[in-house]
Amino acid sequence: MARARSADYELNRETIVRTAARLFAQRGYPGTSMSDLARECGISKALLYHYVDDKYELLREITEGHVTRLEAIIGEVEALRLPAPARLRELIRRFVHEYAQARHDHGVLTQDVKFLEARDRSRVLKKERAVVAAFAVAIGQARPELARAALAKPLTMLLFGMINWMFTWLKPNGALAHDDMAPIVADLFLGGLGAVQAPAAVLVEARD
């Protein structure tokens, strides 16, 4: 008979996954051992193996879980049936917010997806392509003439160039929060530099 799981099993396992995401993002997947993870979690290595089989299982779960959440955001925004420009702004806002909540997961996806086995990597990259395609559709619907000029995909990649690497320089406790940056990214992308408005809190600080 299989041993019953404790009531806090899922909570403990999620703590391990979150810790693994942080360590992978900081040290890289190859530079993090199961011993490192056990030590950071404050548990024995034997107990760690009660929750996960190996660190590859964690890499797969972190990367695929992150892109799956991004796909879910696309679906949630589509369900709102917003006008095209508003839909694009909402996508940008939600993605920037999600990256703030999952900055370590995004870091792992960015730098460590290459360590996935071919079948797993293919599945993750397919989800990533679906996310990019959804943004390209949103851009094309906001500016149909650009879609006709085959610019929707290149513009999507430029947009992701702005938001995908924000986690590397925008610090969690800095003067600007991700939620401050989201409308700035949208303004810059949709209207150019002249459309950017400084957050009110930053303007007050500048006057002081």
Average pLDDT of the segment spanning 118-137: 97
Average pLDDT of the segment spanning 95-120: 95
Q: What is the pLDDT of residue 13?
A: 93
Q: Is the pLDDT of residue 206 over 60?
A: no
DSSP H or E segment with residue 33? none
Average pLDDT of the segment spanning 87-106: 94
Q: Which is higher by pLDDT, 197 or 49?
A: 49
CATH classification of 58-207, choosing from 3.30.470.20, 3.40.50.300, 1.10.357.10, 3.30.420.40?
A: 1.10.357.10
Q: What is the pLDDT of residue 9?
A: 84
Q: Is the pLDDT of residue 172 over 90?
A: no
Count of other CB atoms within 10 angstroms of residue 185: 20
What are the two backbone dihedrals, phi and then psi, of residue 35, each rounded to the nearest 5 degrees? Answer: -65, -40
CA dist 197 and 108 (Å) reads: 32
Q: What is the pLDDT of residue 7?
A: 67
Could you tell me the residue ranges of all domains in the chain? 58-207
Q: pLDDT of 8-19, one tens digit each?
A: 888 899 999 999
pLDDT tier at 203, thresholds 50, 70, 90: low
CA dist 163 and 142 (Å) reads: 19
- 8 A C-beta contact, residue 90 and residue 79: no
What is the average pLDDT value for the chain, to the nearest integer? 90
Q: What is the pLDDT of residue 204?
A: 54
Determine whether 139 is exposed, middle or buried from the number of CB atoms within 10 Å of its CB (0-12, 13-18, 19+): buried
Q: Is the pLDDT of residue 1 over 50?
A: no
Lowest mean pLDDT among 46-60, 76-90, 150-164, 193-207: 193-207
Q: List, in order, residues 6 or more apart from 97 with CB less than 8 Å away.
A: 178, 179, 182
Average pLDDT of the segment spanning 34-54: 95
Q: What is the pLDDT of residue 166?
A: 86
Q: Which is higher by pLDDT, 167 or 1?
A: 167
Tokens of 100: 């703030």
Q: Is the pTM of this model over 0.85?
A: yes
